[in-house]
Amino acid sequence: MLYLWRAMVGKPKAARQGGDMAIAKTVEATIGQKEDAGGKIMRHAGLLSQQLQQLRTRMYPPKSEKSLRPFLTNEVSKLTSIPDSTLKLMSSEGRGPIPGRLENNHRVYTLAQINELREFFASQKPSEALRFLPRRREGEHLQVVAIANFKGGSAKTTTCVHLAHYLALQGYRVLALDLDPQASLSALFGAQPEFDVGANETIYAALRYDDAERRPIRDIIRKTYFDGIDLIPGNLEVMEYEHETPRVLAQKSGSGAIFFERLKLALAEVDQDYDVVILDTPPSLGFLTLSAIYAATSMIITVHPAMLDVASMSQFLLMMGDLISVLNENGAQLDQDFIRYLVTRHDPNDAPQSQVVAMMRHLFGTDVLLPTLIESTAVEAAGLAKRSIYELEMGQIGRDTHKRAREAVDAVNEAILKLINISWGRT
């Protein structure tokens, strides 16, 4: 809660009054008035949206834009396998990117500079290029990872953003695609869906059935503050695909490919630009989720280890199996490299949770990832500040808490990356 509190009270009172007074006046104006349900819901949505926008402005002044912290040389060494001594020597000799300096005179590099270092050492040592610059090579297919479950609270978006950040920190080129109308992934990348994402700027623009309005997927991809990660944001507009597809199927209208092929074909247009695409799917089994499953080369199903959540996942799997059978009957061929279950929000000291995890491992064996995404105050604190654990500095939370959370998240992402490398034929 510390980040939220600082963002709310961090500015002087006079600097906060304008927006707060406007909201207060809106609330006061409705006191004693009778509202219909729709009007009340829309008013509440507007108030909340306005407050979130003000909060974001306070958190990321002066332009309300997120930025990524710089990295100390010991962090750079761990990320790149370049010895700390080599980095210091290069800096003193003026070779390579010039690091910045902190107040204590410690050298720091931006992520863009870290990637410059990777490219430099890969070119200098071709036989070890893959160690420094692990991007996919010729013959290795684009890996499209769908993160799925139709029960809220399974940490689906948290998994997406941490996987995207982890891969980018390792030097991979990542496209994060927000298919969820709630657009939580977009918000974590600094894009407030109501204010920063306009009409025809979501994935719907590349999937829609009317030729005149459809846009190439490349036109809706935007750069992020996190070097190596591009974003296709989401907002409520993506729901149009759920509404439009049944009409097109019923009327047998619309031009181009059938609904489940459209996302895969759109991603093929940017196949050479990325190593990994991460799909944050909606918490439902609609047309967008089916499109994501068809486009995916692999799938991570997130599950909170509680019996109600597992029962919900059981229904999700049954429904998904039935729908995939229907897709197969209509010519769809799903050949995924891997499907794994990821236990999320896991408290290893909780006996009922341990029983649920043991049951899943008994039923599904190695299809359940061995590392789990633990319940952590560090991850929760980062989420409140619209950050990942990778964006926090040691001093912002307790050192031990940060270390435990970082190690747990790293273990999950390392396990997923290992599966990706296996799919590429790497040992």
Q: Judge whether 55 lies within some domain.
A: no
Residue 180 and residue 311 share a domain: yes
Q: Judge whether 178 lies within some domain.
A: yes
Q: Judge whether 24 lies within some domain.
A: no
- pTM for this entry: 0.85
pLDDT at position 118 is 95
Cross-strand bridge partners of residue 178: 280
Residue 315 and residue 373 share a domain: yes
Q: Judge whether 352 lies within some domain.
A: yes
The encoded tokens of residue 26 equal 């809106």
Length of the chain equals 427
Q: What percent of the chain shows pLDDT beyond 90?
A: 59
Q: Out of 11-15, 43-47, 355-359, which region has the weakest mean confidence (pLDDT)?
A: 11-15
Is the link from the previous residue into 62 a cis peptide, with omega within 30 of 0?
A: yes
CA 33 vs CA 40, 41, 383: distances in Å: 11, 14, 37
Q: What is the C-alpha to C-alpha distance for residues 360 and 369, in angstroms, rounded to an integer?
A: 10
Q: Judge whether 66 lies within some domain.
A: no
Residue 103 and residue 200 share a domain: no
Cα Rg of the chain, angstroms: 23
Closest CA to 160 of 297, 283, 267, 278: 278
Residue 48 burial (CB count, 10 A): 12
**Average pLDDT over every residue of 34-61:** 65
Instruction: Using the predicted structure, report yes or no on whether residue 203 has a pLDDT greater than 80.
Output: yes
Residue 173 and residue 116 share a domain: no
pLDDT tens digits along 104-122: 888 999 999 999 999 999 9
Q: Which residues contact 241 (CB under 8 A, 6 or more apart)?
A: 204, 207, 208, 259, 287, 288
Closest CA to 150 of 342, 314, 367: 314
Q: Which of 16-20, 61-65, 191-195, 350-354 has the highest mean pLDDT?
A: 350-354
pLDDT at position 50 is 72
The answer to whether 154 and 344 have CB atoms below 8 angstroms apart is: yes
The answer to whether 158 and 131 have CB atoms below 8 angstroms apart is: no
The answer to whether 245 and 290 have CB atoms below 8 angstroms apart is: no
Residue 334 and residue 212 share a domain: yes
pLDDT at position 2 is 35
Q: What is the C-alpha to C-alpha distance for residues 234 and 180, in angstroms, rounded to an integer?
A: 6
Domain boundary among 132, 159, 180: 132
Q: Structural domain tally of the chain?
A: 2
Torsion angle, alpha carbons of 23, 10, 385, 46, to 10: 10
**Average pLDDT over every residue of 195-209:** 94
Instruction: Using the predicted structure, report yes or no on whether residue 374 has a pLDDT greater than 50.
Output: yes
The amino acid at 343: V
Domain boundary among 132, 158, 181: 132
What domain range is 105 assigned to? Answer: 71-132
The amino acid at 352: P
pLDDT level of residue 38 (50, 70, 90 thresholds):
low
Q: Judge whether 13 lies within some domain.
A: no
pLDDT level of residue 35 (50, 70, 90 thresholds):
low
Strand (E) or helix (H) holding 220: helix 217-220
Assign residue 81 the CATH number of its domain: 1.10.1660.10
Residue 209 and residue 95 share a domain: no
Residue 159 and residue 120 share a domain: no
Q: Which residue has the higher pLDDT, 255 or 208?
A: 208
**Average pLDDT over every residue of 192-198:** 88
pLDDT at position 207 is 96
Instruction: Using the predicted structure, report yes or no on whether residue 195 has a pLDDT greater than 90.
Output: no
pLDDT level of residue 296 (50, 70, 90 thresholds):
very high
Residue 261 and residue 309 share a domain: yes
Q: Following DSSP, what letter does each residue of 120-178 receive, concatenated?
A: HHHHH-GGGHHHH-----TTPPPEEEEEE-SSTTS-HHHHHHHHHHHHHHTT--EEEEE
Q: Judge whether 52 lies within some domain.
A: no
pLDDT at position 91 is 85
Closest CA to 1 of 385, 393, 374: 385
The encoded tokens of residue 94 equal 């003026």
Q: Judge whether 33 lies within some domain.
A: no
Residue 402 and residue 272 share a domain: yes
Assign residue 368 the CATH number of its domain: 3.40.50.300
The encoded tokens of residue 334 equal 């799903």
Residue 183 and residue 96 share a domain: no
The encoded tokens of residue 96 equal 């390579």
Q: What is the C-alpha to C-alpha distance for residues 143 and 336, in angstroms, rounded to an integer?
A: 10
pLDDT tens digits along 157-182: 999 999 999 999 999 999 999 999 99
Residue with tokens 């590429």: 424
Q: Following DSSP, what letter does each residue of 38-73 receive, concatenated?
A: HHHHHHHHHHHHHHHHHHHHHHSTTTT---PPPEEH
Domain boundary among 132, 166, 181: 132
The answer to whether 149 and 156 have CB atoms below 8 angstroms apart is: yes
DSSP state for residue 359 in the 8-state scheme = H
Q: Is 27 left (phi over 0), alpha (psi -120 to 50) or beta?
A: alpha
Residue 386 and residue 287 share a domain: yes
Residue 220 and residue 92 share a domain: no
The answer to whether 142 and 274 have CB atoms below 8 angstroms apart is: yes
Torsion angle, alpha carbons of 239, 207, 277, 389, to 10: -30
The answer to whether 287 and 242 have CB atoms below 8 angstroms apart is: yes
Task: Give the mean pLDDT of the chain.
Answer: 86
pLDDT tens digits along 56-97: 566 555 445 678 999 999 999 999 999 999 998 998 888 889
Instruction: Using the predicted structure, report yes or no on whether residue 41 has a pLDDT greater than 70.
Output: no
DSSP H helices in 272-398: 287-295, 307-329, 351-364, 377-384
Instruction: Using the predicted structure, report yes or no on whether residue 398 has a pLDDT greater than 60.
Output: yes
pLDDT tens digits along 269-280: 999 999 999 999
pLDDT at position 121 is 92
End-to-end C-alpha distance for the chain, whole angstroms: 43
